[in-house]
Amino acid sequence: MSAESVARVEALVRRQDEWRLSQTLNLIASENVLSRRARALMSSDFNHRYAEGHPGARYYQGTRYIDEVEAEVRDRVGNLFGCARAEVRTISGTNANDVLFCTVLREGEPAVVNPLPVGGHISHQAMGGLGKYTRQIHTFPRRPDGYRIDVDKSKDLLKEIKPKLVVFGKSLFLFPEPVRELAPVAHEVGATVAYDGAHVLGLIAGRQFQDPLAEGADIMTGSTHKTFPGPQRGLLLSNMTEEEWKPFDKKAFPGSLSNHHLMTLPPLLVTLLEFETFGREYAAQVVRNAPALGQALQKQGFDVECADLGYTASHQIAVNVTKFGGGGKASEVLAQNDIIVNRNQLPFDPPKKVNNPSGLRLGVQEMTRFGMKEPEMEETARLMRACLIENKSVSQEVNRFRSRFVDVRYCFD
Ligand code: DSN
C-alpha cells in the first residue's frame, strides 16, 4: 500500500510536469521556469543540510561546498545589480520584505505603499506582513488612469505624514515608478525608500526597466523566480555602508530565517551565470512581447488596459474582462482550455471584489523563455478570442501550439 501511495505521488508530479511544461500556455505573471541544467541541480545533497550564518562563519560543520556556492551567488548578484550589499538568504520576496519592514519600522510609524486594487503586493498591506509592524499604512495617490502614481499629490502626502518607510513597486506592475521624482522628498522627511522589484527583477537585471537603486531607492527587495528566471528565493539589495547594513543582516538571520532552502542555491548560481550571457536578450524580448500581446488582444476584441500608454513597459498586461463575466470566470474558462492566467483586481474595482474582479493579469516572461516572439503573441490572442469570445474549445489547438515551444531558451544547453 505505501509503495503504491508513493507511486501515486510520483505520477502526480509527472502529470504536472507534462501538463504545465509541454501542454499549457503559461501566462501567470509571477512564474517562470528553470533551465534544464539549473533544474537538474535541485535535488542534490544541499537538500539535506543546515548552513545558518554566512559562508565561512556558519553554526554548522560540513558546509564547505555550500559556502563556495553561496559566496559566489552573493558576489554575482552584487555584480549583476551593481550594488555593494546583497542579502541572498531570504527564501522569498515576502520574506525579504519582512526583513525590510522589521528593520526599518517601529510600532505605529507611518509607511506609504501601493494599495491592493492598483496592484500593491499583499505583503505591503495591513492584512499582510507590513501590518505586523504598523497600522499607519497610507497609499500613494494615483493619476486618473489608476495605474501610475500622482507625483505632485504624493509629494504633498509625504510632507504631511512624514513616513518612516516608502515602498515603491507592486504585483500588477505595468509602468516604472517615480522613484527619481519622489525619493528626494521622502529622504527630506526622514523615510527609507524601498522598491519591491519582485516582478521586474529580471527586467532590471537585463537593463530593460528602471534602475531603482540608481534612481534613489535605499533598498530593493525581490524574488528570483518571476521575470528573473531562477529558483524560488528572495533578495535584498542596497548600496548602504557596512554599518548601515548591519541591522538588515541581523534581521535576516537570526531575525527572520534560520536555514535557507539550500537546495535552491546551486540552481540560482546557474541561473545567474546564464543570465550574465543571455539576460539582456531575454529581457529585451520580454518587453517586446508584452505590448505585442496587448495590441493583438485589443485587435481580437478585448479591452486591454492602458492602450493610450502603449499597454505596458513591463512583462505584464491587464485586460478588463467584465463583459465575459469577470476575471474569476474568464480565468477558469481559459484554464479549462489550457491557457493559464490569473484573475486580478483593476484600479477601479471595489476593494472587496477579489474572487471575481474585473481583470486578468497576463505575463509573457515564461513563454518568452520557451522561445515565443511577436508572432506567437498574435496566436495566443487568437486562441484567447476563440475561447472567450467565440466560446470554442481550444485545448487541443493550444496543446499543438505549445508543443512547438517546450525547450527553455536563453541558457546553456
Ligand atoms: N502573489 C504573487 C503574484 O502573483 O504577484 C507575488 O508574490
Q: Exposure of 355 by Cβ count < 10 A (0-12 exposed, 13-18 middle, 19+ buried)?
A: exposed
Indicate whether 150 belongs to any domain.
yes
Any atom of ligand 1 within 6 Å of the Cβ of 285 = no
Any atom of ligand 1 within 6 Å of the Cβ of 30 = yes
- Count up the domains in the chain and report the number: 1
353: confidence class by pLDDT, cuts 50, 70, 90: confident
Q: How much is the average pLDDT of 238-261?
A: 97
Closest CA relative to residue 314, chosen from 216, 220, 233, 197: 197
Residue 30 CA: nearest ligand 1 atom is: 4
Indicate whether 276 belongs to any domain.
no
Residue nearest to atom 5 of ligand 1 (CA): 171
Indicate whether 69 belongs to any domain.
yes
Beta-carbon contacts of residue 23 (< 8 Å; ≥ 6 apart): 338, 398, 399, 402, 403
- Measured in angstroms, how far is the CA atom of residue 45 from the centroid of ligand 1? 29
Indicate whether 11 belongs to any domain.
no
pLDDT for residue 355: 85
Alpha-carbon distance of 346 to 358, in angstroms, equals 6
Alpha-carbon distance of 145 to 401, in angstroms, equals 35
Give the Cα-Cα-Cα angle 179, 185, 190 (nearest 5 degrees): 110
351: confidence class by pLDDT, cuts 50, 70, 90: confident
pLDDT for residue 341: 98
2: confidence class by pLDDT, cuts 50, 70, 90: confident
Residue 171 CA: nearest ligand 1 atom is: 5
Q: Is the peptide bond before 178 cis (omega within 30 degrees of 0)?
A: no
Residue nearest to atom 2 of ligand 1 (CA): 30
Indicate whether 189 belongs to any domain.
yes
Mutational test site, ligand 1, from 31, 125, 226, 233, max ligand atoms within 8 Å of CB: 226
Which residue carries 500608454 as its cell? Answer: 309
Residue 223 CA: nearest ligand 1 atom is: 7
Mutational test site, ligand 1, from 90, 171, 225, max ligand atoms within 8 Å of CB: 171
- Measured in angstroms, how far is the CA atom of residue 6 from the centroid of ligand 1? 31
Domain containing 221 — which CATH number? 3.40.640.10
**pLDDT reading at 352 higher than 80:** no
SS3 label, residue 32: coil
Indicate whether 152 belongs to any domain.
yes
Q: How does pLDDT run across 29-72, given as a tens digit for each residue?
A: 999 999 999 999 999 999 999 999 999 999 999 999 999 999 99
Range(s) of the domain holding residue 244: 39-270
pTM of this structure: 0.97
Closest CA relative to residue 289, chosen from 222, 215, 220, 381: 381
Residue 29 CA: nearest ligand 1 atom is: 4
- Measured in angstroms, how far is the CA atom of residue 61 from the centroid of ligand 1? 36
Any atom of ligand 1 within 6 Å of the Cβ of 171 = yes
- Measured in angstroms, how far is the CA atom of residue 211 from the centroid of ligand 1? 21
- Measured in angstroms, how far is the CA atom of residue 355 from the centroid of ligand 1? 15
How far apart, in Å, are the Cα atoms of 318 and each of 41, 124, 257, 343?
Answer: 35, 21, 35, 10
Indicate whether 388 belongs to any domain.
no
CB atoms within 10 A of CB 57: 8
Q: How much is the average pLDDT of 219-236?
A: 98
- Measured in angstroms, how far is the CA atom of residue 121 from the centroid of ligand 1? 7
- Measured in angstroms, how far is the CA atom of residue 4 from the centroid of ligand 1? 35
**pLDDT reading at 371 higher than 90:** yes
Residue nearest to atom 4 of ligand 1 (CA): 30
Beta-carbon contacts of residue 230 (< 8 Å; ≥ 6 apart): 32, 34, 38, 224, 264, 267, 268, 271, 272
Indicate whether 399 belongs to any domain.
no
Mutational test site, ligand 1, from 94, 121, 225, 365, max ligand atoms within 8 Å of CB: 121
- Measured in angstroms, how far is the CA atom of residue 47 from the centroid of ligand 1? 25
